A = this chain, B = another copy of it.
Amino acid sequence: MLSRKDLFKDTLRKAAHAWKRIIELRLSEEEAHMLRSYVDQPAFTDLHWGMFIPAIKGQGTEEQHEKWLPMAYKMQIIGCYAQTELGHGSNVQGLETTATFDPQTDEFVIHSPTLTSSKWWPGGLGKVSTHAVVYARLITGGQDHGVHGFIVQLRSLDDHSPLPGITVGDIGMKFGSGAYNSMDNGLLRFDHVRIPRNQMLMRVSQVSREGKFVQSDVPRQLVYGTMVYVRQTIVSDASCALARAVCIATRYSAVRRQFGSQNGGPETQVIDYKTQQSRLFPLLASAYAFRFVGEWLKWLYADVTQRLQANDFSTLPEAHACTAGLKSMTTSVTADAIEECRKLCGGHGYLSNSGLPELFAVYIPTCTYEGDNVVLLLQVARFLMKTVSQLGSGKKPVGTTAYMGRAEHLMQCRCEVERAEDWLKPSVILEAFEARAFRMSIACAKNLSKFSNPEDGFSELSPDLLEAAIAHCQLIVVSKYIEKLQQDIPGKGVKRQLKILCNVYALHLLHKHLGDFVTTSCITPKQGALANEQLRLLYSQVRPNAITLVDAFNYTDHYLGSVLGCYNGNVYQRLYEEAWKDPLNDTVVPDGYLEYVWPILKQHIRTARL
């Protein structure tokens, strides 16, 4: 309920308080990260720790590390990550800001040549950061060497005023009333701002004193390692956000009763309606599925890191495609699912104190940052087409595309389901998802081959390619869930419940994408109907444990931040109490009554001063 200015000031206060505690308690980096994430509000510190420092670590030389990192770790400087511009987001190679080397002074001149080259969106830039890693086109001797990173001081460390040549400000309000409005997403323009040559991040490329551009022998693929890491955390976060929304909707669905009262008895809990179950339980299953695929991605990142250290880049393209696809798929599903959970809470879900509106508003940028979800899926599709094209060449597909190695089988296999319960077999589900994903890729490849120019074909068929990429990503999640179930899982009956959810996850996807499965002849219409029948039975099995399954996420009421999702289910009392806290209820007669309502009621509106 705060104005933008008050909200922002409050965020600064929280960030300062968090930092104070981190120092007082001598927290480790990991602990500090956890403390900040539990503040649960976007702030400039996210960018300082999550982007500015990692950029210097990843792209800076050891010398640069020694100079900048100690200051950054102590927050003697506060940094942000100034990449996107008004005119360019996804196409990083199209950035327009220039960094021109001046051999006379041994400096780079950072400049914004056009309006669209204004840096736009970087968090922490608008009002707080003293420094930024700025991405700009490196120009030496009149030659453009593409986009590189530069450390640029933006504001005075004495009085915080912008340095000469720098125009900086906030880009304005964003979705929601809280959400990212606590963040000073900023704009930034340079008018021939000079920085010393050694502030170019020079791990991968260097500019010499004479202005000579040199590429070092550090493999560029190293960048992908970081990407795999960042996207792995995004997938884990997707699971957490989804679990939060599902926890609220599930608990409230058990409290809320509507219709179905017989002989004056209580009405039916809305969680007992099949329409509610068929929308809610697949989301519950997805929250678990994303958690398991997130855990697996952690393993994948470790594996990739180990290989990189041994100069083995063989699995990198597949790992990159896989994380890109999972980032895209899980965040898109989560964004939609949060809104679906809000709808599942009926009218009261629209209240801010349900927690769902702001959860939605703060989550949705995830679909855009670190790679726009559609652009990422197209990268996956490109990788799939490449994999398909190499199938004949003897080059074996690896990792999550290994299934494509069984091309002959997957093109011929027929689903053996005869009764609804046959759909409970993991092998049956897995084969159906593999065959569907593979056949969709093959169909795309076939259609692509009809075009004389492959790029024209790729662009023309891109909607179909997106669908093939999604089918592949869904297969990954299903298969990793099934793998998880082959492990030991402690707790009595836990594995059984997780198996049920795994089947719910797979069969709801099968029902949703029935057209894919049937038109590729992976299953028959009859088998599709049996899957739907089995799905209904599974919902009945989820129902008795639904509350336990969301309690298991272990969110405190404080963190959940939802009146509808409170643990003890005392929803109506809480709603009533919360209502009175609205500022509008400070007075019985609202501010503005005398000026604007009274003259209407008393028929004085013609002469009223409005």
Contact = CB atoms under 8 A, between A and B. Distances in A.
Given A176-B176, A518-B519, A595-B13, A582 B267 contact: no
Contacts of A603: 74, 76
A169 B581 CA distance: 10
Determine chain A's interface SS by DSSP, over half rule.
helix
Contacts of A127: 584, 590, 593
B581 A172 contact: yes
Interface in A13-29: 13, 15-17, 19-20, 23-24
B169 A579 contact: yes
Interface string A92-126: 00100000000000000000000110101100001
Given A174-B351, A596-B12, A606 B23 contact: yes
B77 A601 contact: yes
A220 interface: no
A580 interface: yes
B175 A259 contact: no
A578 B115 contact: no
A401 to B, nearest CB: 22
A75 interface: yes
Interface string A579-592: 11111111011111
A252 B27 CA distance: 47
A503 interface: no
Q: How many copies of this chain? A: 2
B610 A173 contact: no
A516 B278 CA distance: 17
Nearest to A514: B515
B4 A576 contact: no
A352 B582 contact: no
Interface stretch (A54-62, A283-291, A525-533, A545-553): A525-533
A8 B184 contact: no
A30 interface: no
Nearest to A8: B584
Given A20-B606, A368-B347, A600-B19, A572 B87 contact: yes
Nearest to A160: B589
Contacts of A187: 576, 579
Interface of A: 1-6, 8-9, 12-13, 15-17, 19-20, 23-24, 74-78, 84, 86-91, 94, 115-116, 118, 120-121, 126-128, 130, 157, 159-162, 169-177, 180-181, 184, 187, 257-259, 261, 267, 273-275, 278, 339, 343, 346-347, 350-353, 357, 361, 364-365, 367-369, 372, 374, 378, 459-464, 466, 511, 513-521, 525, 528-529, 532, 536, 572-573, 575-576, 578-586, 588-593, 595-601, 603, 605-606, 608, 610
Given A16-B599, A24-B606, A172-B352, 11 more contacts: A16-B600, A16-B608, A23-B606, A76-B601, A160-B598, A171-B579, A273-B459, A274-B460, A275-B466, A347-B368, A518-B518
